Structure 1
Amino acid sequence: MSGADFNELLQAAEQLSADVEGTGELPRVERTLREVLDASSELWTRVAQTGPQNIQ
């Protein structure tokens, strides 16, 4: 990867980050992939056991 390509990629990443931070619509949440996996597994288990109408 040339220096120009890397700089373009870096600039695009910084712009995306600024776009996400600047919306203000949702609070910023930092989670690890493990935390996301655990939460999704727990939700799946609850939905499978009780059905979607009881999830709150």
Structure 2
Amino acid sequence: MFQTLVHTLGIDKTDVQVFLKAHNERNLAEYEGRMEIDETLLSDLIRCNKALQTAVTKLTPPED
């Protein structure tokens, strides 16, 4: 699903990789109890989410 953001919103491929890594880390925490905090990943994830938010706010709502 994350890969579609490149085509639908023009999100950078490197940002997609950050989302994928964060999702994987979430899975490790959920299913294996892994709880290490990666400060760099967190910082990158916040940056990527801001870029995603900006891209979404530029979308034109569908007409009724």
TM superposition score category, shorter chain reference: 0.3 to 0.5
Task: Give the structure with the higher percent helix.
Answer: 1
Return the structure number with greater relative CO, CA threshold 8 A, min gap 6. 2
Structure 2 length-normalised TM: 0.36
Task: Kindly name which structure, 1 or 2, has the bigger radius of gyration based on alpha carbons.
Answer: 1
